[in-house]
Every structure is written in structure tokens, then in C-alpha cells.
Structure 1
Amino acid sequence: MYQQWTPERAQSWWMQQKWGCGFNYLPRTAVNWLEMWQEETFDSTTLQQELKWAQEYGYNALRTNLPFTVWEHDRDGLISRIDHFLSIASSNGLAVMLTLLDDCAFSGDEPFIGQQKPPVPGVHNSQGAGSPGRAKVLSPECWPQIEAYVKDIVGHFRHDPRIQIWDLYNEPGNSGVFVGVPKGMAYDTRLEFYALSLMVNVFTWAREVSPEQPLTVAAWHVPDRSDCRGAFTHPVDVAALHLSDVTSFHAYVDAQEQRQILSRLAAFQRPLLCTEWLARHIGSNMADTLPLFKEQNVSCYHWGLVQGKTQTWLPWPDIPHHTKSAGLWFHDVLMADGRAYHREEMALVQTLSKE
């Protein structure tokens, strides 16, 4: 009864959508998604300002994450704030992809309600927090509550046209092995196994409430960023690609490697979305990659909009020192006052999104 969309249904849906030129979003005033979504620090003024900037520069889509911990603490408040956020995004012509779970949590802390820690000076995304957090992923006795969360959020918004796509789980099993496990955080080899099982369950739970929007989880393992031949063979990626209604992936690689990935993923005969890219220090740049996505009709969401507390304009910790060019931003495209970091990049966004 609760089945994956057929490729034909997915392609029919895709024909009704605009080409998505988007970004991953956290406001400049939030150090992580807990700070973005909890009542005390929900910054409607900044959201309105920044999403208006995005519209003016030509963007038409965004992807952002929801925190299980806020739902657990303040379910009704979170629902209300999601509704408000969707209204802001819609008023600025931005289709929204909401992500429910997330293992990309490099702070090393379990998520917590209340005042978040300040960013560590000079460190990329230093207070990234998971949803629901690694401890709960590793504890199947907690999964009924995760099931309740998934069904509640997806069920509540399952007919809402302001949500274009559900991204059920960001980087399942990400233990920090690609950017270095934070100091003091033990690497638990069980995480990938439990995350894979949880991801399969999340697809089932979401489908049980019959959303009108398609479901996806991105394949994300690119073992060597300079050679994509080994990409997406990890069991988590294989399962994600075979369970998703629309095919999504992460790839911080140059345009040549992106083209190879797109050629491989075309075999699924489903719409393609690159939900994370743009890493200027390693060749993932606007000038070469954005026109490729447009040419191939691949909706894309680069990392970051406005320079802020996440400090994602700084390189990942594992980027070799000799490539860390002074003044070169890693992610993000706008300065804190709304000016473009690179005018030519924003001109390209405006041109391609209007075509």
C-alpha cells in the first residue's frame, strides 16, 4: 500500500517543477538548526531579510533541516514556526525541501535545548548538532519516538504545496570520518549499521502517512574527492538510491567529476537533485558546475547562503593547508550585509534561473 513512486510518476511530477537553483539554509544568526528553530532564538526578522535577498539574486529553492530535539521539547511551537517559515519562503518564491534527521554533527555533543555554544573561532561548522542525535540513533528503544516525530511532521504537512520534497535523513551514519572526528568524541563503528536500519524504517514511516510530496535520502559517500569512480557504492548509499522517489546526492567535486556522477545516476531514470555542493578550495565552483546542472536539468542546492555563525565560509579541517588560500570562501555566497561575495557568481545565478 505504501510504495515508492514509479520512475514514471516521478518524471511526471518533475515535469511540473521549475529547475531548482537553491541553497542549504541556516540564518547568519544561528550556529545550528537548534538555534534556528527553538522559540527563544527563532529569528523571523533575519529569515525574512535573508530569503528576500535570495529571491533578489535569483534563487528559487532551499533546503533546511528540522531538529527532533525541538519537536520533543515543544511540538506545537515547532509546527507553528515551520508554518511561519514556509510562509516566508513561499512569499519569496522559494520551494522548500525539509530534512527530518541528520547525522552530520561535528560538534561532538548530543543535541540540547537552550542556549547553544558559541562558534569556535576559526572552525568550520563547529557547533553542528544531529537530529535526533547519535545516542538515539544507536538506541532502537528510542525509535518509536522517532517514528512519532516523522509521522507527525510529514503527516501534518503532507498536502502543503509550500513543501516540494521531503529529505528524510541527511548523511546517515556520518561519524565525522571525512573531516576528522572532533576531539573528545569517540568514533562508534556501529553508527553506520544502525543508521542504515533507521533510514529504511523512516521511508516506511513517512510513506504510511501518504504525503503528496516525493521522498528522498541523498547518497553521500565520495571516498576520494578527486576520483568519483568509487562513489555511492556504500550500503547506505545503495539503499538510499533504491528507496528514494527522486534521486538525490551530495558531491563536493569539480564539474568533470560531477558529470561522471550524473551519467551514472541517470540509470535510475528518476529526477536528479544535487542537495550539497560548492567547495571552492577543491574545485567545486559556481562558474563550471552551475551551468552543468542547468544543462542536465539537475536541481541543485549549494552549501550556505549568508556568512554567519556556522563559519562555513572557512574550509573543512581536513583541507590541506597549501590549498587554504587567504580570502577564498569555501561555502556561502553572501556577506552579512547582503552583498555578494562574488558578483559574477550571483550574476550567473540570476541568468540561469531566469532562462
Structure 2
Amino acid sequence: MSQVWSKEKAWNWYNNTPWLRGCNFMSSDCANRIDQWQKLGFEERFATADKELELAGSIGFNSIRIILEFIVWDQDHDGFMERFDRYLSMAYKHGIRSMIVFGNDCMTPKDEHYKPLKLGKQNFDWGYHGGRKHSQHSLLKQMGYHIMDEREIAERHYVWVREIMEKYKNDPRVVIWDLYNEAGNSHRDKISIPHVKKFFEIAREVNPDQPITSCVWKGLNYDNELPEVEQFIVENSDIISYHNYSSYEDNIKIIKRLKEYGRPIMNTEWLGRVTNNHLHELFPLFYLEKIACYNWGFVAGLYQTYEPWEGSWQRYELGKGDHLDFTKWFHDLFRPNHRPYDPKEIELIKRFTKLADGEFERQQEGEHV
């Protein structure tokens, strides 16, 4: 079994990679990730994704973060594998490499509102972040339910992770493996630790060319120690990655704290205008610090991530949301007609991506003189 990359190896990889910037991507005509990966309607959505990723490449994005959907692989294995490979090639055609995400703890409770995920036509609620009225973005108090809580299904998840990593472990279209999204979220806390550890164990056995990471998100909001699952993650990741939707000042404090680990840093989820997490402040900061960054969302659509988190509305109604700005879109960069939400944001992205690429090109030329 391979070990965590040395800091020297991690920095060597990072410094010989262009500054990674992009978004968490799902085409605007997808109601959810089942829509993104299932056979039904895929050709139409693939065509939409092709146009939207061409747009992403045109503004200087060179990477996307995509979250896979286990049940599509589980119920339509061969079809999923073919569609996934086409997705990688289509993005790469536009100069975009993909960060691949497997596990995810952003889940709702198994309560009276719970509906098992199924292939087929996907319903959504208008006016709600993520297209779901009852979602993990509400102020939920019960523990979220994950199908991996069923042991047999968990074992199939492990097969899923191993198969895909084995197939793409040397593939230049894949830039990094993000093994588990927000482990411990939805009040799951320590419940997911065995799954996170198993995913890392599999990844080290596969030993890909690409680095391995998983994000920290909860412990960064406090001055105390990281939760157990996040402590494991930072000790076992080649690259440190984090999520944050709060202010410029908070991000400066977080970056300072994460630098103590001595490894390259990525922010794999950001941009929450409602919560004072703004592109015109953070994108230049990430450029300056050479922190890879993936904002949430791209073209506004059925997933409706331009809407505020439901929890933001609930906080305001409880008298705890005076700091929230509901006059702005939460996420997303482009309107459905592909015009920018804010042209000045896109102009800024283009300026800083051009600067970064010029600097990287001069650096590479200097090393080959």
C-alpha cells in the first residue's frame, strides 16, 4: 500500500500544474446528479454540458469538480462507465480536467419527507436551493441518512471507488481524487469515519498518479481542534482542501491556519454572495496565494443554486440573519442565456486566469533553459 505523498512530492506536483480554477459542475438542465449521469435524457444534457464547458474554457477555467452518483453506477454499470468516460473527454476537449468526488455526507434524515433515490424522471421544487424544499440546506436537527448505512450497500460503494480509480489512475483527464464530500455533515459526525477510512485505504492501494484529498469544512469555523474525521482527513490527504462560504476575512484566517500543514491548499467549494462570500474579493486572494479554487455552480438552471440555502431563510425568520443579503444570487456565474450574472465578475476571472497562465508559462520556460 502506498503512503501519503511527502510534502516535497505534493509541492512538486502542484508547482508543475497550472493554477487550477473552475467550478462544481452540473449542466443547467439537470435537476440533480441522477439526471447528470443516468441514460434517460443524457444525450440532451450532454449537449448542454458541452456548450457550457466551452463557455467555461473561454473565461479561463481549466478544471471542474464533478460528484458521481453511486446508484446510477450500481443500477446501470456499463452505461454509467461509458457516459462518464465521454464526460471526461468532452471536458478535456475544452482544456478542462476533472476532479472526481465519490462519497457525500450532505444528506437528509430518513423521516416522513424522505424519498429513496430512483432512476427515471427527476422531480424538483421551484424556488428552492438544489431544487428540493426539504433538503440538507435546511436547519435540520436529525442525523442525515446515507444508503451506506446499510452494510451491503457500503460494500458495493467500495467496489465502485476501486473500479473507477483503477481505470483512471494514470489518466491525464483526471486531475485529482476528492474521496469524500463534507464527511460528518448532516449531524453524521463520527458515523461516516469507517467509510472515509475505507475510501482512503482503497485509494492508497490503487496508488494513482493524481493526488488524493478530502475537504475539511466544519472545524474551520471554530478555534478548537478539528473533529476526529477531519483530523484523519488532513493527516491522510496529499493536498489540503477546504470548503467555506463566509467572508474574505474568515478565508484569510482559514488559509493561515491551513498553511501550518505545509502542503498545497485548495478551496473546492466557495462563492455564497448571500453570506458575504464574494468573487471580487476571493478570486484575487486565491490567485495571490495560488490556492486552487472551485466555486459552486456555473449556469443557473433546474438545480436552482442561485436561490439562498433554505437554512438562510430560516435563520432570517428566527431573527438571526441580519448579515445575509437576499438581493444577490447565492451561487452561479451565468444566466440561462449565457450572459453573466455580473459582467464584472467574469472580466475579473479572465484577467487573473490570464495572469496566472502567463506566469506558469514563464516558469516552465525558465526551468527548461
Q: TM-score, with normalisation over the residues of structure 2? A: 0.86
Q: CA deviation at 1:22?
A: 0.9
CA distance in 2, matches of 1:250, 1:121: 26
Shift of residue 241, structure 1, vs aligned partner: 1.0
**C-alpha separation in 1, matches of 2:324 and 2:114:** 24
Kindly state the Cα deviation for residue 173 of structure 1 after the two structures are TM-superposed. 2.7
Selected match of 2:50 from 33, 36, 48: 48
Indicate whether 1:121 and 2:115 are aligned: no
Residue number in structure 2 paired with 1:217 = 214
Give RMSD over aligned pairs: 1.9
Match of 2:69 in 1: 67
Alpha-carbon distance, 1:324 to partner: 5.8
After alignment, is 318-327 or 137-146 more displaced?
318-327
Distance 1:218 1:114 in 2: 31
TM-score, length of structure 1 as denominator length: 0.89
Equivalents in 2 of 1:342, 1:198: separation in Å?
40
8 Å Cα contact 1:34-1:67 kept in structure 2: yes
Q: Quick check: 2:300–2:334 contact (8 Å CA) kept in 1?
A: yes
Q: Write the distance in 1 (CA, Å) between the matches of 2:48 and 2:171.
A: 24
**CA separation in 2, counterparts of 1:115 and 1:102?**
22
The structure having more radius of gyration, on CA atoms, is 2
Are the equivalent residues in 2 in contact too, given 1:110–1:135 (CA < 8 A)? no
Equivalent residues in 2 for 1:142-221, closer than 5 Å? 142-175=153-186, 191-221=188-218
CA distance in 2, matches of 1:323, 1:317: 15
For 2:33, the equivalent position in structure 1 comes to: 33
Residue identity opposite 2:217 in structure 1: W
CA contact (8 A) 1:35 1:116 kept: yes
Alignment-mate amino acid for residue 126 of structure 2? P
Q: Distance in 2 between matches of 1:76 and 1:270?
A: 37
What is the distance in 2 between the residues matched to 1:153 and 1:45? 24
Q: Is 1:266 the equivalent of 2:268? A: no
Q: Deviations over 1:138-174 (max 9, x none)?
A: 2234322111111011111111101000111111232
Which stretches in structure 1 are left out of the alignment for 5+ residues? 178-190
Unaligned runs of 5+ in 2: 137-143, 317-321, 356-369
Q: In the TM superposition, what is the alpha-carbon distance from 1:222 to its structure 2 partner? A: 5.3
Give 4+ residue runs of structure 1 displaced > 3 Å after superposition.
Answer: 105-110, 126-129, 320-327
Alpha-carbon distance between aligned partners in 1 of 2:149 and 2:90, rounded to the nearest angstrom: 36
The Cα of 1:325 is off from its aligned counterpart by 4.6
Q: CA deviation at 1:255?
A: 1.1
1:86 aligns with 2:79: no
Q: Which of 296, 299, 304 pairs up with 2:292? A: 299
How far apart are residue 333 of structure 1 and its match?
0.6
**Alpha-carbon distance change, 211 to 169 in structure 1, aligned in 2, over 3 angstroms:** same
> Cα 1:326–1:170, aligned 2, differ >3 Å: closer, same or farther?
closer
> Which is worse superposed, 312-321 or 215-224?
215-224
Q: Distance in 1 between matches of 2:209 and 2:199?
A: 16
Question: What corresponds to 1:315 in structure 2?
Answer: 308
Q: Distance in 2 between matches of 1:108 and 1:101?
A: 19
SS of corresponding position for 2:191: helix
Contact 1:154 1:211 in 2 (8 A): yes
Please list the CA deviations of residues 264-322 of structure 1 after superposition, one character each: whole Å capped at 9, or x if unmatched: 11111111000001111111001111111111010000110010111110111122445
Matched, 1:329 2:329: yes
Percent identity (aligned): 32
CA separation of 1:123 and 1:223: change in aligned 2, threshold 3 A: farther
Report if the CA contact (8 A) 2:175-2:210 is conserved. yes
CA distance in 2, matches of 1:206, 1:222: 24
8 A contact 2:107–2:146 mirrored in 1: no
Quickly say closer, same or farther: Cα 1:196–1:15, change in 2 above 3 A. same
